[in-house]
Amino acid sequence: MGSTQTVLPRGLKAQVVAVSRKAAIRYREVLASQLRKRIEQLEGLPPHRLGLPPDMVAELTAEEQYLARAHAHLDMLRRIEIAAVISGEQNDPWAWKEWSDPAKTEQRVGAKGWFKMPLMPTTRTSSTGWPFCA
């Protein structure tokens, strides 16, 4: 079973621990890039591959099956935001400030942070993101 059958339907989130702050930021960059590519791939699926009944999906190749199932979760995939959470140091590169700012870190993973909220909102006003933190 892939993520489209187990992870996404259950609204599960992930946290990746890296060996260094630089690695955390690199993981974040790669994960965000791959997510964007997957969303673009799903958005480009031909209409005749969408909404197929299970018996027709079963006849597709493994990759086509994955894409057909993943497309059902496209809205959720679009909501996913990937963040790095690192501690800051005085001489950090400017690009790292986004990921080391204490206020932004609190907003992402603090007691009421986005990471702790449901992946899919239970109401229209509880829309949050940040299911993946590196």
* Residue 2, domain member (yes or no): no
Q: Which domain holds residue 88?
A: 7-133
- What's the number of domains the chain is made of? 1
The whole-angstrom distance between residue 75's C-alpha and the CA centroid of its chain comes to 11
* Residue 117, domain member (yes or no): yes
* Residue 1, domain member (yes or no): no
pTM over 0.75: yes
Residues with Cβ < 8 Å from 128, sequence gap 6 or more? 114, 117, 118, 119, 121
Residues with Cβ < 8 Å from 60, sequence gap 6 or more? 49, 52, 68
| pLDDT string in tens for the chain (134-residue length) | 456 565 566 677 778 899 999 999 999 999 999 999 999 999 999 998 888 999 999 999 999 998 988 898 898 889 888 999 999 998 999 999 999 999 998 988 888 887 877 776 655 544 455 455 55
